Chain A
Amino acid sequence: MRRLIFLLPLLLFAALAGYFAFALISGRDPRELPSALLDKPAPDFDLPSLLPLGLTEGQRLSLAGLKGQVVVLNVFASWCAPCRVEHPLLLRLARQDKVHLVGIAYKDRPEDSRRFLAELGNPYRATGIDRDGRTGIDFGLYGVPETYVIDRQGHIRKRFVGPLSATLIDRELLPLLRQLERP
């Protein structure tokens, strides 16, 4: 029994090594922050909408206007490279007619956002212009792209930091949407 105590450092080492290996392999980014607004009401916003995509002149993209449906809110910018990476996935997502995908152009010139969407295709049913980034701050945004899932009651249920991937969409986003869509 007393002999076994010499194995203790080895066991400690194995436990630490196992933990480090897990942290390395799991692919979790420690810089990624959980949203402070998770399961809380989404911050109120009322933004001018990007024309001529989707909405008619004078209409706005607001939280009040989205109430009652499950919404996927994607914050993007034309100057953001990872946004280009995730864009084809958004287009694919938008083709599923159950998904109500809206966009917010974060700190971007409207003409640039328009060009970006004209070039790559527009996945959004409506796009709000957050010129000064204030709505972004209200959401606790700290980089683009970020994607939020807002439920029927207007609560934030999920935040994805950084570009979406096919895996994230299939394993996390779509199951969550199915769960929220259930009456």
Chain B
Amino acid sequence: MRTLLLLLLLMSPALMSPALAVQPDERLADPALETRARTLSRELRCVVCQNESIDESNAPLARDLRILLRQRLTAGDSDAQASAFLVARYGDFVLLRPPLRADTWLLWFGPFAVLLLGAGITVFALRRRAPASAAPLSAEEQARLDRLMREDAP
């Protein structure tokens, strides 16, 4: 019983949903449309707070944009059309997931390029540091080694 209670307590943060910024009066009556609006607005940046999506933000502008987005969807816009509407006004910056284009390759693949570069340098450095394999003993050295070994033997 106590274990169960403890487990429930530990899990409770996962069960708690974050405080909702979306007000009841903003929601659409059509659940399918509302779900689309929620999904879409999680991908759109609130330009006032800049690190929140408009779905999470309490900024008045985020609310206006949520309402606008729902109006566009109700009017029959596709998801792409609705977000293009905002991109036309606020630029690519409103997209929390930047589009993959020729001028964003550096952004998307830059980290991997740096990782590869680092790996390359590491491999190169390790190779250089590895001691060169010992040269085989000359006949003279071998003879001396044999002699020493024999002396040690009881």
- Which of B47, B60, B89 interacts with A138 by CB under 8 Å? B89
Q: Is A143 an interface residue (CB 8 A)?
A: yes
Q: Which residues of B contact A43 (CB under 8 A)?
A: 89
* Structural contact, A107 and B60, CB atoms closer than 8 A: yes
B 22-34 binary contact with A (CB < 8 Å = 1; else 0): 0000000000000
A 97-125 binary contact with B (CB < 8 Å = 1; else 0): 00000000001000000000000000000
Q: Which residues of B contact A133 (CB under 8 A)?
A: 60-61, 64
* Structural contact, A142 and B91, CB atoms closer than 8 A: no
* Structural contact, A36 and B65, CB atoms closer than 8 A: no
What is the CA–CA distance of A134 and B50 in the complex, to the nearest angstrom? 20
- Which of B48, B68, B87, B93 interacts with A137 by CB under 8 Å? B68
Known A-B contacts A33-B93, A36-B88, A36-B89; A142 and B47 likewise in contact (beta carbons under 8 Å): yes
A 116-148 binary contact with B (CB < 8 Å = 1; else 0): 000000000000000011100111101100000
Q: Is A54 an interface residue (CB 8 A)?
A: no
What is the CA–CA distance of A36 and B61 in the complex, to the nearest angstrom? 17
What is the CA–CA distance of A33 and B45 in the complex, to the nearest angstrom? 13
What is the CA–CA distance of A37 and B91 in the complex, to the nearest angstrom? 8
Q: Is B108 an interface residue (CB 8 A)?
A: no
Known A-B contacts A137-B64, A137-B68, A142-B61; A36 and B48 likewise in contact (beta carbons under 8 Å): no
Interface residue tally on A, bucketed by range = 10 to 19
What is the CA–CA distance of A138 and B89 in the complex, to the nearest angstrom? 6
B42 to chain A, nearest CB (A): 19
Main SS of the interface on chain B? helix
Q: Is A34 an interface residue (CB 8 A)?
A: yes
* Structural contact, A36 and B87, CB atoms closer than 8 A: yes
What is the CA–CA distance of A139 and B48 in the complex, to the nearest angstrom? 14
Known A-B contacts A107-B60, A133-B64; A140 and B48 likewise in contact (beta carbons under 8 Å): no
Q: Which residues of B contact A34 (CB under 8 A)?
A: 91
What is the CA–CA distance of A64 and B69 in the complex, to the nearest angstrom? 27
Q: Which residue of B lies closest to A139 (CB)?
A: B89
What is the CA–CA distance of A134 and B67 in the complex, to the nearest angstrom? 11
What is the CA–CA distance of A139 and B60 in the complex, to the nearest angstrom? 16
* Structural contact, A36 and B47, CB atoms closer than 8 A: no
* Structural contact, B91 and A33, CB atoms closer than 8 A: yes
B86 to chain A, nearest CB (A): 8
Q: Which residues of B contact A3 (CB under 8 A)?
A: none
Q: Which residue of A lies closest to B90 (CB)?
A: A140
What is the CA–CA distance of A34 and B89 in the complex, to the nearest angstrom? 11
* Structural contact, B47 and A33, CB atoms closer than 8 A: yes
Q: Is A31 an interface residue (CB 8 A)?
A: yes
* Structural contact, A33 and B90, CB atoms closer than 8 A: yes
Q: Which residues of A contact B68 (CB under 8 A)?
A: 134, 137
Q: Which residues of A contact B89 (CB under 8 A)?
A: 36-37, 43, 137-140
Shortest beta-carbon contacts, A-B, top 6: A36-B91, A142-B47, A140-B89, A140-B90, A133-B64, A142-B48
A-B CB contact pairs (8 Å), 18 listed: A33-B90, A33-B91, A34-B91, A35-B91, A36-B89, A36-B93, A107-B60, A133-B60, A134-B64, A134-B68, A137-B61, A137-B64, A137-B65, A137-B89, A139-B89, A140-B89, A140-B90, A142-B48
